[in-house]
Amino acid sequence: MAKQKICVLFGGVSSEHEVSLMSAASVIRNIPADRYEVIPVGITKKGRWLYYPGPVANLADGSWEQYPDCVPAFISPDATDRGIVKCVDGAFTLQKVDAVFPVLHGKGGEDGTVQGLLELAGIPYVGCGVLSSALCMDKAAANLVMDAAGIDRCEWDYMTRAELPGFDAVADRLERRLGWPIFVKPANAGSSVGISKAHDRRELLDAVHLALAHDTRIVFERFVTGQEVECAVMGNDGPQGTLPGEILASQEFYTYDDKYLAGTSRVVIPAQLAPEKLEEVRVTAVRAYRTLCCTGLARVDFFVEAGTGRVLLNEINTMPGFTDISMYPKLMLHAGMTYGGLLDRLIQLAFERKETANG
Ligand SMILES: Nc1ncnc2c1ncn2[C@@H]1O[C@H](COP(=O)(O)OP(=O)(O)O)[C@@H](O)[C@H]1O
Ligand SMILES: [Mg+2]
């Protein structure tokens, strides 16, 4: 049987560009080569799309962009093309693809934008669709839906940039509803960027300005003390969750450096919880996944609060990190799935989802 052509998208304009490069290198190295042919297309930080036929080793340090055989390329939105268009010496050529694996984190990749393009293109793709990607990316929208579905989370609130002139009233409300310290997050950012913890009003205003540099809307949360646990969920109509794992952060909270650069966080699988708590996390993760219409995969993150033992949902990541130190592949490995087997299954789920959508 001919190999299926999988276009792997990597890089992107978001603050998680570098993480995507690392995730994509792992994905490309581990896709079962006997069944799939990878067509790598990178997106620079400026948003330029390039077909990249060079070695995987050039991804992580960003040197792939200078590779002499890179050519401009893009996914055609024309549903009769079903492929990528390459521009070689001023001429356009069409390369058909069977599926796309958008290994992109954050804005312009994990937020429904690329997914919308792929819907127009009529090409099956790995992961969540437009609605779930967009909802999960926006912390305010996701929290509102979770509240409506009765999925427990910590007390929270939000404001828009337009409310800044009346900030004193907002601060009064937050102090009353959340208490100190208050966690401040841009509604859309990703990977701990623009996030901070405020202990008083002065710090709160600084935190608001920092968050506003990343988005026009901000989410505030009560600071939760407890364990940070994560569950890997996979599937379309009948999603399954793994045993949760736990993050042992080295800093006060799980920062971007912790996650990807310093390698200082440790992961424990399963999380250090009683069996019934592990089960509660797993069942809630699947419920949240279904509530936000996820398909393919997602990593669902929680806090288990110290003292009360409450399982509080934090967020859903529709394209979780896929590097070798990432939680999602580690949880799946613990559940008995190899990295190659995991990629194979995710691609098959993309095809299955497309068939159901057409049927
Ligand atoms: N309400 C909270 N209480 C305590 N710590 C929090 C809270 N929200 C987030 N954190 C910490 O900040 C980190 C990043 O926040 P998160 O909401 O997951 O944003 P991101 O989308 O950037 O991953 C979390 O992994 C956790 O360590
Ligand atoms: Mg997070």
User: What would the pLDDT profile of 321-342 be if each residue is shown by its tens digit?
Assistant: 998 779 999 999 999 999 999 9
- Asked whether residue 354 carries a pLDDT value surpassing 80, the answer given is yes
Instruction: List domains and CATH numbers for the chain.
Output: 4-125 (3.40.50.20), 135-152+225-358 (3.30.470.20), 156-222 (3.30.1490.20)
d(CA 246, CA 266): 8
In this prediction, residues 227-242 reach a mean pLDDT of 97
253 lines ligand 1 (CB under 6 A): yes
d(CA 255, CA 240): 28
Coil vs helix vs strand at 173:
helix
CA of 191 to the centre of ligand 1 (A): 9
d(CA 16, CA 13): 8
Q: Which of 15, 20, 76, 191 is catalytic?
A: 191
Nearest ligand (C-alpha, residue 110): 1
Give the tokens for residue 77: 């939105």
In contact, 101 and 10? CB cutoff 8 Å: no
- Asked whether residue 359 carries a pLDDT value surpassing 50, the answer given is no
322 lines ligand 1 (CB under 6 A): no
CB-CB neighbours of 339 under 10 Å: 18
Residue 133 annotated to the active site:
no
Q: Quote the DSSP letter at residue 223.
A: P
Residue 314 CA: which ligand 1 atom is closest?
17
Amino acid at site 149? A
99 lines ligand 1 (CB under 6 A): no
Q: How many helices (H) and strands (E) does the chain have?
A: 10, 17
Cα radius of gyration rounded to whole Å, the chain: 21
In contact, 23 and 326? CB cutoff 8 Å: yes
CA of 193 to the centre of ligand 1 (A): 10
Query: pLDDT at position 91, please?
Result: 96
Q: Which of 14, 16, 18, 23 is catalytic?
A: 16
User: What would the pLDDT profile of 128-160 be if each residue is shown by its tens digit?
Assistant: 999 999 999 999 999 999 999 999 999 999 999
Euclidean distance between the first and the last CA atom of the chain, given in angstroms as a whole number: 25
User: What is the percent of the chain with per-residue pLDDT over 70, rounded to a whole number?
Assistant: 94
Residue 20 annotated to the active site:
no
DSSP for 270-293, please give it: S-SS-HHHHHHHHHHHHHHHHHTT
Partners of 246 in the beta sheet? Answer: 229, 268
Q: Please report, in range form, the residues annotated as the binding site for ATP.
A: 139, 183-185, 191-192, 221-228, 314-315
Task: Verify cis geometry, omega within 30 degrees of 0, for the bond prior to 181.
Answer: yes
223 lines ligand 1 (CB under 6 A): yes
User: What would the pLDDT profile of 15-59 be if each residue is shown by its tens digit?
Assistant: 899 999 999 999 999 999 999 999 999 999 999 999 999 999 999
User: What would the pLDDT profile of 272-320 be if each residue is shown by its tens digit?
Assistant: 999 999 999 999 999 999 999 999 999 999 999 999 999 999 999 999 9
Residue 326 annotated to the active site:
yes
Query: pLDDT at position 259, please?
Result: 58
228 lines ligand 1 (CB under 6 A): yes
Closest C-alpha among 132, 84, 101 to residue 295:
132
Q: Quote the DSSP letter at residue 14.
A: S
User: What is the percent of the chain with per-residue pLDDT over 90, rounded to a whole number?
Assistant: 89
Residue of 137, 185, 260, 310 to mutate, ligand 1, most atoms within 8 A of C-beta: 185
- Which helix (H) or strand (E) is 133 found in, with range? helix 130-137
Coil vs helix vs strand at 195:
coil
Per-residue burial over 78-100, b = 16 or more CB atoms within 10 Å of its CB, e = otherwise: eeebbbbbbeeeeeeeebebbbb
Higher pLDDT, 83 or 253: 83
Query: pLDDT at position 257, please?
Result: 61
- Tokens 């809307």 correspond to what residue? 217
CB-CB neighbours of 223 under 10 Å: 16
Residue of 196, 253, 257, 267 to mutate, ligand 1, most atoms within 8 A of C-beta: 253
Q: Which residue lies with its CA nearest to atom 19 of ligand 1?
A: 192
